[in-house]
Amino acid sequence: MGRKYFGTDGIRGRVGDGVMMPDFVLKLGWSIGRVLCSDDRNLVLIGKDTRISGYMFESALEAGLSAAGVNSRLLGPMPTPAVAYLTRTLRAAAGIVISASHNPYYDNGVKFFSADGKKLPDSVELEIENQLDQPLEVVSSDQLGKVERINDAAGRYIEFCKSTIPTRIKLNGLKIVVDCAHGATYHIAPNVFTELGAEVISIASEPDGLNINSACGATNPKALRMAVIEHHADLGVAIDGDGDRLIMVDHEGATVDGDELLYVIAQARKAENILHGGVVGTLMSNLGLEHALQKHGIEFKRAAVGDRYVMEMMQEHSWLLGGESSGHIICLDRTTTGDAIVAALQVLQILVTTGKSLQEIKSGMNKYPQTLINVPVESKLDINNAPNIQQAVKDAESDLADSGRVLLRPSGTEPLIRVMVEGVDAPKVKQLAQQIAKQIEATVSASC
C-alpha cells in the first residue's frame, strides 16, 4: 500500500505549498498524538533546524498535539540525531524534527522518531496517514496537552556526543575547522570539539533563518576546503543543516566523503576486533569501498538509496556500521541513527590513537572514477522492459568486466533516469555512461 504524504524520510516540501502549510502540520501533530501516544507515554519532543519557517510549524505541531491531549517539550534548534537521543533518554512517546535536511531554507519538512529513537516503520506511517483523513476532534479542555521548553537540551546532547569516545581520548594539538551549514549544530558541534581539547575555527555558524545550507555544509564543502588551507588546519568537518550528514576535508583540502569515512572507521574497528559483522552501503556506494573492505576481509552489502534502507539491512544482519556516500554514517554501537558529530568523533579517535593524518588513514581506499548522468523522461519509463536499453547496459558491463559496474535508477522525486557508470578507466566510464544515456533518450523519443 503506497504512502500518500510520507517520503523516504518523513514529509517534506516547499513552505506554503502542498503539505507544508500550517493547517496540515497542525493536523499532523494531532494525528501523531493519536497514533503514537498512550496514557503511560503522553509526551512528544519537538526539535527544529534554523529555517525561519520552523517557528510557524513548531507552533502548529504544538497546537495539534495539545488538541489530541498530548504534552510536548520544545527543544529549540537541535540536530536530528539529538532529538533521537533525547526522545530515548526522556522516555518520550515520540520525537519530531522540523527540518528539510540539506535542502534550501524555502523548503521544510517533518520527520519522526519512535520511543526508542529510531525512524518510524512504514506500517506506523500508514496509520498516521489514515488518521490524517479523519475529522479532527479536540479533547475536553481539562484534558488538553501542556507545553514546556527544555532549556538544557543542547548541553545534554553535547555530553552524549563526548561520551561516544573513551574518556582517555583528547583532541589536544588538533586544529579543526568546523562548518555548521548555518544549521542546527551551530551551537553544539564547535563546543563538542573544543571541550575535547581541539583548537576550533568555526564557519557557517551564524544562522539567520535564510542562510541554512547556502554555499556551505556537507553538500558544498568549498568554503571549508579554503578555510582549512587558510588556517593551516589538520582537517575540516562539514555538517549538513540538520546534523546527520558528515563530510570531512584533509589538511590539503581534499574532500573525504561518506564512503571513505566508512572505510576509515570499518578498517580500524576490524583491526581492534570490534567491528562485529560487515558494513552496509547503498547502490551508489563507490566500488572502491567494496574492494578496499574486501582486502581487510570485511563483508559488504548494498541497500537501496536512503539511510532508512541502510538501517533496515544493518538490523537484518545484526551489523553495527553502515552509511551512504553523502555522509550519513550510522554507528549502531554508539547511537540509533545517522549522526555527523558522533561519526566525526569516531574518525578523530582513530587519528589520535594512530598518530596519523586523515589523508594517511583514508589512503587504503582508492575511489573509482564515476560518471552520473540524469536523463529527463516525460513519462514513467520501464527500463526493465526496454530491450535496447538493457542491451546497452549488458554491453557496458561486458566492456567493464570486473573492473567496474553500471547502475540505472529511476529518480523517486523527479522525472529522470539516473545513469551511473564507474570503473578504473575514467574516459571509458564517461563514454559508456554517455552511450547508455543516448540509448535512453532514443527510446524515449521513439515512444513519443
Q: What is the mean pLDDT of the chain?
A: 95
Cell numbers at residue 180, please? Answer: 555548521
Q: Is 11-151's fold the same as 157-361's?
A: yes
Instruction: Give CATH for domain 370-447.
Output: 3.30.310.50
Mean pLDDT of 251-277: 97
Adjacent-strand bridge partners of 279: 300, 321
- pLDDT beyond 90 at 402: no
Verify whether residue 163 is a known catalytic residue.
no
pLDDT of residue 364: 94
pLDDT digits (tens, 9 = 90+) for 342-374: 999 999 999 999 999 999 999 999 999 999 999
Question: What's the pLDDT score for residue 413?
Answer: 61
The whole model's pTM is what?
0.92
Does the pLDDT value for residue 99 go beyond 60?
Answer: yes
Q: Is 1's pLDDT higher than 60?
A: no
Q: Which of 31, 99, 101, 326 is catalytic?
A: 101
Position 7 scores a pLDDT of: 85
Tracing cell 527544555 back to the chain, one arrives at 150
- What is the dihedral sign for C-alpha 61, 62, 66, 72? positive
pLDDT above 90: residue 8: no
pLDDT tens for each residue of 101-111:
999 999 999 99
Query: Would strands 43-48 and 71-77 be described as parallel, antiparallel, or unpaired?
Result: parallel
Q: Give Cα 345 distance to the centre of its chain.
A: 17
* pLDDT for res 308: 87
Q: Which long-range contacts (CB under 8 A, 24 or more apart) does 305-312 make?
A: 305/409, 306/8, 306/9, 306/282, 307/9, 307/244, 307/337, 307/338, 308/8, 308/9, 308/119, 309/8, 309/282, 310/280, 310/281, 310/282, 311/118, 311/119, 311/337
What share of the chain in percent tops pLDDT 90? Answer: 88
Residue 427 confidence (pLDDT): 94
pLDDT for the residue numbered 448: 66
Please give the pLDDT value at position 411.
74
Task: State the Cα–Cα distance between residues 237 and 198, nearest whole angstrom.
Answer: 12
To 10 degrees, the CA torsion angle through 192, 267, 337, 209? 50
CATH superfamily of 157-361: Alpha-D-Glucose-1,6-Bisphosphate, subunit A, domain 3 (3.40.120.10)
Selection from 49-63, 388-402, 430-444 with the highest mean pLDDT: 49-63
- Alpha-carbon distance of 286 to 429, in angstroms, equals 13
Residues in the chain: 448
Domain ranges of the chain: 11-151, 157-361, 370-447
385 vs 215 pLDDT, higher one: 215
Q: Does domain 11-151 have CATH number 3.40.120.10?
A: yes
Q: Give the mean pLDDT of 314-340.
A: 96
The total of other beta-carbon atoms located within 10 Å of residue 261's CB is 24
Average pLDDT over residues 295-314: 94
> Over the stretch 188-245, which tens digit does the pLDDT of each residue have?
999 999 999 999 999 999 999 999 999 999 999 999 999 999 999 999 999 999 999 9
